[in-house]
Amino acid sequence: DIQMTQSPSSLSASVGDRVTITCRASQGISNSLAWYQQKPGKVPKLLIYDASSLQSGVPSRFSGSGSGTDFTLTISSLQPEDVATYYCQKYNSAPWTFGQGTKVEIK
């Protein structure tokens, strides 16, 4: 099965900073990748699908890029409401594995 590895596992940044989270697949998955945000005690929320398509209603400071095995989620200007854990997920074929998550905090 294809493994999804996120890095870093956690990060702390200041409000207004540019934040980048990486997700690497152990084999190529084309652009079949999504990013989710989960705030503490809340339901996960889709941010990005097909590696770079912004889900409706998601702020434009979130963006995704990549194809094949290497993918990136970028928050262009970190806001206090972005404190959450972020997960990538592949969906080119079963099993649709999630990454282990990246916890984002405010410094």
Nearer to another protein among residue 18 and residue 59 (C-beta): 59
Contact residue for another protein among 5, 18, 96, 105 (CB under 8 A): 96
Residue 94, interface with another protein (CB under 8 A)?
yes
Residue 46, interface with another protein (CB under 8 A)?
yes
Nearer to another protein among residue 17 and residue 101 (C-beta): 101
Contact residue for another protein among 11, 22, 31, 44 (CB under 8 A): 44
DSSP state at residue 67:
E
Residues 6+ apart with CB under 8 A from 76: 18, 61, 62, 63
Residue 27, interface with another protein (CB under 8 A)?
no
Residue 97, interface with another protein (CB under 8 A)?
yes
What is the rounded distance in angstroms from the CA atom of residue 35 to the CA atom of residue 97? Answer: 12
**22: three-class secondary structure by DSSP:** strand
Closest Cα to residue 47, out of 8, 29, 67, 21? Answer: 21
